[in-house]
Amino acid sequence: MRQCPLVARVALVVPCYNEAERLDATAFRHFRLPDDEIEFLFVNDGSTDTTSEVLATTGARIVNLEKNSGKAEAVRRGILAALDRSPGFVGFWDADLATPLSELPGFMEIMGSRPEIDIVFGARVRLLGREISRRPSRHYVGRVGATLISSSLGLAVYDTQCGAKLFRVSDTVREVFSTPFLSRWIFDVEIIARFVQLWGRDRVARALYEYPVTQWHDVKGSKVKSRDFIRALSDLWKIHRAYNSRR
Ligand SMILES: Nc1nc2c(ncn2[C@@H]2O[C@H](COP(=O)(O)OP(=O)(O)O)[C@@H](O)[C@H]2O)c(=O)[nH]1
Ligand SMILES: [Mg+2]
């Protein structure tokens, strides 16, 4: 049951790099939360296609980055812009809606009923009765990566790479997003590493909730290539060194 009766304001950042073909502007324009207010903030990350025209039809706030800076920086800049208007919750969501927006009320349900939870990460767990369809190659590579990530962080996190995440706004969130990330590929891991640095591992383990989404599907046109797995491994090592040595 929801503990806080007030209507919350939620700002969701959507990073977009050449998304003209994939972006479903209508889905974003019509989406409403049942109990809360939602504001989308699109970050056009130096797209070279007609993304800016498509984004204009959403009627939402747009942050334009002059040159392509990568998802990590696009999300970070979007979150900082969103925080300017003091929402209660900020998050980010992949433009291809691989996680449909219909999952967001479930994230808010957790935030509303569990005040000790400050971070909700979507998790792609393939269970019967759910619609989680992921290419087998991406699934297995992803599971190897997830296992390495979890042992590097020292946290039993199952899936750091689902593109659907929500945070309860606090000074810690402002600090986590205040400076550029080292990693272009797995900044989601770095987000956790920053929370661990500020709060300690035990508190993060109590404040982070992995929400098993009921629907998730691979959307064609992914910009992630196989060689990015190697880059992700090297980023994981970079994050491990940078944040573990400072702890
Ligand atoms: N800003 C920015 N976003 C990107 C870039 N590459 C991918 N994205 C965004 O990150 C999200 C996920 O990208 P996608 O290619 O679907 O990756 P995948 O789902 O992990 O295979 C989408 O919202 C993309 O627009 C990039 O270079 N810059
Ligand atoms: Mg995708």
Q: Which ligand has the minimum distance to the alpha carbon of residue 71?
A: 1
- Distance between Cα 94 and ligand 1 center (Å): 7
**pLDDT at residue 10 above 60?**
yes
- Confidence tier at 23 by pLDDT (50, 70, 90): very high
Please report the pLDDT score of residue 7 as a whole number: 93
Which tens digit of pLDDT belongs to each residue from 45-66? 999 999 999 999 999 999 999 9
Q: What average pLDDT does the structure give for the chain?
A: 95
What is the spatial distance between Cα 136 and Cα 131, in angstroms, rounded to a whole number? 14
Residues with CB under 6 A from ligand 1: 15-17, 19, 45, 68, 70-71, 74, 94-96, 98, 163, 222-224
Neighbours of 215 (CB within 10 A): 15
Which tens digit of pLDDT belongs to each residue from 136-147? 988 999 999 999
Q: In terms of DSSP bridges, do strands 9-16 and 37-45 run parallel, antiparallel, or are they unpaired?
A: parallel
Domain extent listing, the chain = 9-246
CA distances from 95 to 67, 141, 152, 176, 225 (A): 18, 22, 28, 22, 17
CA distances from 37 to 2, 139, 170 (A): 16, 34, 18
Residue 224 in contact with residue 174, Cβ under 8 Å? no
**pLDDT at residue 247 above 60?**
no
The tokens of 181 are what? 């990330």
Which tens digit of pLDDT belongs to each residue from 73-127? 999 999 999 999 999 999 999 999 999 999 999 999 999 999 999 999 999 999 9
Phi and psi dihedrals of 97, rounded to 5? 55, 35
For the structural domain made of 9-246, what CATH number should be given?
3.90.550.10
